[in-house]
Structure 1
């Protein structure tokens, strides 16, 4: 499966699946959750600031916070994908108001 940089068109037949993959970029202070949209990989990103804002001060690592709040983050990503709120690089950026 390749990472998508092309525009994905979302239709009523669109299948969105979250394969249980997340990663942490300490340089960008950004967590990434993968989504498969019609068999195309879409990276869904959320910043450390948003994680702290929405889920409080973390005594755990940011990636453990993402795993703990996976359902909320994935639902926000799903809504953004369904509304075709893709960034120029094909990713989804989850903002505070999305959670």
Structure 2
């Protein structure tokens, strides 16, 4: 196998992992990889919306939280989720060839 898709727990999607250089892949392998990636890539907007809903829930909790340490934890959780959203946007917007070559 020249590539695989590995589930990323943090982002909640599968990401491509090449076992050979992009240039070493055949045209058929490249086409298959890009086809599979497009299927995964198409689910990224739904994943982003799910994470945004989680942020809204945590912000609502933060608005009524009186315990300072708990407020700090909520802020940290919100920042981490926002970071995931940023990374998902990068994966979604990256050109197909560039995203696969540039990350692996």
Greater share of residues in helix? 2
TM-score if structure 1 supplies the norm length?
A: 0.28
Query: 1 or 2, which has the higher strand percentage?
Result: 1
Structure possessing the higher radius of gyration over alpha carbons: 2
